[in-house]
Amino acid sequence: MVSHASIFAHRGLSGHYPENTMAAFQAAMDSGADGIELDVQMTKDGQLVIIHDERIDRTTDGNGYVKDFTYEELNELDAGGWFASSFTGESLPTLENVFQWLVKESNRLTLNIELKNDIIHYEGMEEKVLNLIDDYQLEERIILSSFNAQSLKKVRELHPTISIGYLIAGIRTDALAVAEDIGADAIHCQEDFALSNYGKKALEAGFPLRVYTVNRYEAKADLVAAGVEVIMTDYPEQFK
């Protein structure tokens, strides 16, 4: 009987810091979170940049699609002021910036990299992410996830052992079959799936459930009782 779930900071400690910035990641580490979830998109010049949306409008002072800018151009933008004026000056990190930070800090944080390639197909994203993981020898600490099953299949073809979480929204009755087809190691789902019969079947079939985005502390007990492995939250300091 599982009586404990690991806590991952969703987009960093995004409840109190601008999501997907180094400030949010540092705060997540300081909170004692077990892991960090972040989102990766790709720039015009093929750089892996940490930002949730395909567009830069919501979380920076710029306008347009990530794919239409070079990283040098995106690096000029402010990615903190939209959240609170005290965070003005935060920038959009690259995945490599995060890896550099991760290896220099003495911590054992797990990093869940969500490949945001389900709306825009970023050619070559999978290879770039895997090569970078290899360069920094971070395989043991990384989970790759995506809503795009084809992309995850490609990841599995390219890398037989990297940890893969198949990401679903709501109750997907085919989730277990797709996860098996991908060769995934886990299913990343919402509370409704985790607490459903489908979630139970997935667990019985050996797929750990990692649940997003849980911001109501009261939900924790039921999820832990259901046997979920990870709870992803914007408020990891409350869940630890």
* Nearest residue (CB) to ligand G3P, 70 versus 182: 182
* Nearest residue (CB) to ligand G3P, 50 versus 132: 50
- Encoded one letter per residue, x for contact with ligand G3P by CB under 6 A and - for no contact, window 21-50 reads ----------------x-x-----------
Give residue for tokens 């580490």.
29
Could you say which residues in the range 33-92 bind Mg ion, by CB under 5 A?
39
Residue from 176, 118, 128 nearest 149 by CA: 118
Smallest distance from the beta carbon of 78 to ligand G3P, in angstroms? 22
Which residues form the catalytic set? Answer: 10, 52
Residue from 14, 145, 151, 233 touching ligand G3P (CB under 6 A): that is 145
Could you say which residues in the range 58-117 bind ligand G3P, by CB under 6 A?
114
Q: Which residues bind Mg ion (CB under 5 A)?
A: 39, 114
Q: Which residues bind ligand G3P (CB under 6 A)?
A: 10, 37, 39, 52, 114, 145, 167, 188, 212-213, 232
